[in-house]
Amino acid sequence: MFRKSLNTAATESRMWVYFLSACGGGAALLYVLYSWLIPAAVQYSGWWALLWHDVIVERMLDALTGSTRPQRLLRAVQKNATQGDPQSVINAIDHFCRHKEWAMNVGDEKGSILDSVVSEVNPSTALELGTYCGYSTVRIARLLPPGSQLITLEFNPAYAAVAKQVIGWAGLQDKVQLVEGPSGDLIPQMKDLFGVQSFDFVFLDHWKDRYLPDAKLLEECSLLRKGSVLLADNVICPGTPEYLEYIRNSPRYESRYFKSHLEYTKVEDGLEKSVFLG
């Protein structure tokens, strides 16, 4: 009887060891899949990259942390960037998005193209459609000449709240006017609200189905002058086919495509630079 009890105890002990080993192995496999294999696999597919990063991972982390991706990005800025140093804010966000959690900023690769266009135009008046967390706002504002004006529009109040703090952390709040609301309502009010006669530079990085109607609205409201530059992000992934068809075939624009990659991936994407000819 005693020997039988010992055998039963030994069997139960082995079962627990097997169970714990299986749990540990499963957890390790899930970690490898989550941290390395799936992110590597989706690097070359735009649809899968957006589904994985922008839907599955974001929702899972939101549930686990009780916070949002913009809030987590803001904490990374506050932890790793130097107040009043725009470049350190950019670096902190890029590091967060490459090594911690992907986010749909214009990113470092396309960001360098954005930098070069802003520096070339050297705008005194600039408009950004789609602020998100303020990454591209910081990139643009840090390059503007003294006395210039950057107006950035954001539809989502939660994004706008984070962007204000990111812009403030970079020390650029005096150069930026962040306005909450739909672009279709705000663009016709630009002259009355801000006294802007026209924009030298416009960066489109909001809802992709708004690119074309907002570009036409800028024309209708006479907010573009001869030589004004429109720079549109994500024209390949997720893609803006109607906007590209219009901007490339309109005699009112001279347009050029800058090939690059979807932020922090190997998926082809790019920026479309379009000069308004009047």
Q: Is 205 a catalytic residue?
A: yes
Q: Is 208 a catalytic residue?
A: yes
Q: How many residues does the chain have?
A: 278
Q: Looking at residue 121, what is its pLDDT? A: 98
Kindly report the backbone phi and psi dihedral angles of residue 261, in degrees, each rounded to the nearest multiple of 5, phi listed first: -140, 150
Q: Is 233 a catalytic residue?
A: yes
Catalytic option among 208, 214, 269, 272: 208
Q: Domains in the chain and their CATH numbers?
A: 77-276 (3.40.50.150)
Q: Is 191 a catalytic residue?
A: no
Amino acid at 155: F
**pTM metric for this prediction:** 0.86
Q: Looking at residue 23, what is its pLDDT? A: 47
Query: Which residues are registered as beta bridge partners of 125?
Result: 149
Q: Looking at residue 57, what is its pLDDT? A: 86
User: Do the Cβ atoms of 57 and 102 come closer than 8 Å?
Assistant: yes
Q: Give the annotated binding-site residues for Mg(2+).
A: 205, 233-234
Q: Looking at residue 52, what is its pLDDT? A: 80
- Please list the rounded mean pLDDT of every run of 10 residues in the chain (278 residues): 52 52 46 48 72 86 94 98 98 96 95 98 98 98 96 98 98 97 97 95 97 98 98 97 98 98 94 97
Q: Give the annotated binding-site residues.
A: 106, 136, 154, 205, 208, 233-234, 263
Q: Looking at residue 54, what is its pLDDT? A: 82
